Structure 1
Amino acid sequence: MIEANGLTKRYGERLAVDRLTFTVKPGQVTGFLGPNGAGKSTTMRLILGLDAPTSGTVTIDGRPFSKVAYPMREVGALLDAKAIHGGRSAYNHLVCLAQTNNLPKSRVGEVLDLVGLSEVARKRAKGFSLGMSQRLGIAAALLGDPKLLMFDEPVNGLDPEGILWIRNLMKALAAEGRTVFVSSHLMSEMENTADHLIVIGRGRLVADCTVTEFIDQNSELTIRVRTPERDRLAGLATGKGGVVAHDGEDALRITRLGMTEIGDLAFDNQIRVHELSPIQASLEQAFMELTKDSVEYHAAVPGRPAAGAIADAAAVATEVVSGAIQHGGR
């Protein structure tokens, strides 16, 4: 279990982590989310004792990480897949880690088999792709068979098979009663993997709940209705306070009204309905809604402000295509 209490880290005038208090429990995969610059990596470094907090505390099973006698037996961590001596083979890299943590040499072969690197075990790490480096980093994290695992962007560079493998691995580790704490920017992957979420923005805690609760609390229910009398139903739904958008020739997407209200509205006005179904918001949509005011870095199309670039994305695309056509016609 990881417990943070008032955890704060300041670099000069910059406040990277701001009074974070949360608990990461065993037996579940806990996703750690936040925009770039939110303080996720700093928080993970504070947990592992790689940085000292300005104030507050963070403990692992009631102790600071610095008090753990054999760290790899209790905590396995992957923060930077490329933090490996390039001149060493995968096998020798893991052997060195095993020796410094009093782990049996036989464990090296076991984790290499587990992550699928047995065939390249004697090759130097400098020739590894990002995906292979990720697998080696995961092997190192698993080397001590720890009860707590921390991963920072573990699926970077992995192919679809590798992503499915790490997803199932994390779920299996949690099912064994271990604590699994994983940071990622891939919302779809977190939606498929995590049981619980801790979300931060600008160093502060903004959500601590299950994935389902997070989506429900930060998104609006949308109902899809398919009917041959689309326009008439759209007018009636708008009159009842619904927000209506067309979804093809014979369908609508309606918010602000529930399924029962829409069904009764159609029935009372003798409108045939061929489909009436809820559209579940994604974790990505809920995350974007919750953290929109916490984003530190806003990208923009060259020559346009960020907000305008986002709002006018379709117009920008049209201008680019139009310009290309005109240029080609000269």
Structure 2
Amino acid sequence: MIELRGLTKRYGDKTAVDHLTFSVRPGMVTGFLGPNGAGKSTTMRMMLGLDSPTSGDVRIDGRRYDQLRDPLNSIGALLEAKAVHGGRSAYNHLLCMAQSNNIPKKRIDSVLDLVGLSDVAKKRPKGFSLGMGQRLGIAAALLGDPQILMFDEPVNGLDPEGIHWIRNLMKHLAGEGRTVFVSSHLMSEMALTAEHLVVIGRGRLLADTSMADFIAENSRTFVRVRTPQPERMRDVLVSFGVRPVFEQDGAMQVEGVEPARLGEIAAWYQVVLHELSPQKASLEEAFMRLTAESVEYQAHDQAAQPPPGDRGTGGAPARRNR
């Protein structure tokens, strides 16, 4: 288990992490989300003792990282895949890590085989593709067979087969009772992998909840109803105290009524239905809604900007305030 209590990090006048308190529990994949600049990387670095907190505390199974005698046997992490010595072979890179943490040499061959790098074990990582570098970083995280694993953007550079593999690997590790903590900007992938979510914005905790509850609490759900008798269906629903919202194509959005109940109502009043489909928000939509006020670096919609050289009605260039 990873436990954060009031974790805070300041750089001068800027607060990167602001009194974060949450726990990452074993037996599930916990996703770590936040906009760019939210403090995710700083938080993960403090978990691993790479940055010192201004205040607060992080415990790895009850101990600080610097109290772990052989830390790779307790927690493995992938934060930066390219953080390897380019002149050493993949095998020797892992050998140095193994020797510094009292890990048997035979474990090196096991993790290289697991991540699919056995054939390039004697090659130097500086010639690896981004995906191969990611696999080597994952091998390093798994080297000590730890009970706690942290991954920052683990699918970067991986092909579809590699993404499928790392997704199943994380689920398998969590199924073994391990603590798995993963940060990623790929919402579609996170939705398939994580069971629990921790979301931060501007260094502060925004959510610590299950995936299902997060989407339900931060999105709008409704049933889409399409019928050749829209007015009749509307009148029927109004008689039940339900006011549908019409879409541009004539379909209706109905909130607060289960699809099965809507089907029963339509059947009872002999209304023909062409569509009856529940609509639920994606993780991305729920995330965008929750973090809308916490985005530090925000681009603007080009369509909303005046075209280059836009001129006023009199033909003169539009005046700009200085």
TM band (smaller chain): 0.7 to 0.9
- Matched with 1:245 is 247
Q: Distance between the aligned counterparts of 1:142 and 1:58, measured in 2? A: 21
- Aligned counterparts, 1:43-58, within 5 A: 43-58=43-58
Check 1:130–1:237 CA distance in 2 against 1; reply closer, same or farther (3 A cut): farther
Contact conserved, 1:237 with 1:244, CA < 8 A, in 2?
no
- Aligned counterparts, 1:211-230, within 5 A: 211-230=211-230
Q: Distance between the aligned counterparts of 1:214 and 1:128, measured in 2? A: 38
Aligned residues: 304
Q: Distance between the aligned counterparts of 1:137 and 1:262, measured in 2? A: 51
Q: Distance between the aligned counterparts of 1:159 and 1:64, measured in 2? A: 36
Residue 99 of structure 1 aligns to a residue whose secondary structure is: helix
Q: Distance between the aligned counterparts of 1:244 and 1:219, measured in 2? A: 19
Contact conserved, 1:234 with 1:252, CA < 8 A, in 2?
no
Q: Distance between the aligned counterparts of 2:62 and 2:165, measured in 1? A: 31
Aligned-pair RMSD on alpha carbons? 2.3
| 1:89 shift after superposition | 1.3
Contact conserved, 1:30 with 1:197, CA < 8 A, in 2?
yes
Contact conserved, 1:37 with 1:296, CA < 8 A, in 2?
yes
Residue 254 of structure 1 aligns to a residue whose secondary structure is: strand
TM-score of the superposed pair, with normalisation by structure 2: 0.88
- Aligned counterparts, 1:281-320, within 5 A: 281-301=281-301, 308=304
Identity among equivalent pairs (%): 64
- Aligned counterparts, 1:47-126, within 5 A: 47-126=47-126
After TM superposition, the structure 1 stretch with the greater mean CA deviation from structure 2, 275-284 or 181-190, is 275-284
List per-residue Cα deviations over 1:258-288 (Å, max 9, x = no partner). 2367557645764211332212221111111
| 1:255 shift after superposition | 4.5
| 1:104 shift after superposition | 1.0
List per-residue Cα deviations over 1:78-128 (Å, max 9, x = no partner). 000111111111111111111111111111110000000111111111111
Q: Distance between the aligned counterparts of 1:28 and 1:299, measured in 2? A: 34
TM-score of the superposed pair, with normalisation by structure 1: 0.86
* AA aligned opposite 2:76: G
Q: Distance between the aligned counterparts of 1:109 and 1:103, measured in 2? A: 12
Is it true that 1:174 corresponds to 2:194 in the alignment? no
* AA aligned opposite 1:297: Y
Q: Distance between the aligned counterparts of 2:269 and 2:229, measured in 1? A: 11
Q: Unpaired runs of 5+ in structure 2?
A: 308-322
Residue 278 of structure 2 aligns to a residue whose secondary structure is: strand
List per-residue Cα deviations over 1:213-265 (Å, max 9, x = no partner). 10111111121223223466468769943333245xxx625153423675576
- Aligned counterparts, 1:22-33, within 5 A: 22-33=22-33
Q: Distance between the aligned counterparts of 2:205 and 2:85, measured in 1? A: 36
Residue 228 of structure 1 aligns to a residue whose secondary structure is: coil
Q: Distance between the aligned counterparts of 2:294 and 2:11, measured in 1? A: 19
Contact conserved, 2:237 with 2:244, CA < 8 A, in 1?
yes
- Aligned counterparts, 1:11-22, within 5 A: 11-22=11-22
Q: Unpaired runs of 5+ in structure 1?
A: 317-330
* AA aligned opposite 1:141: A
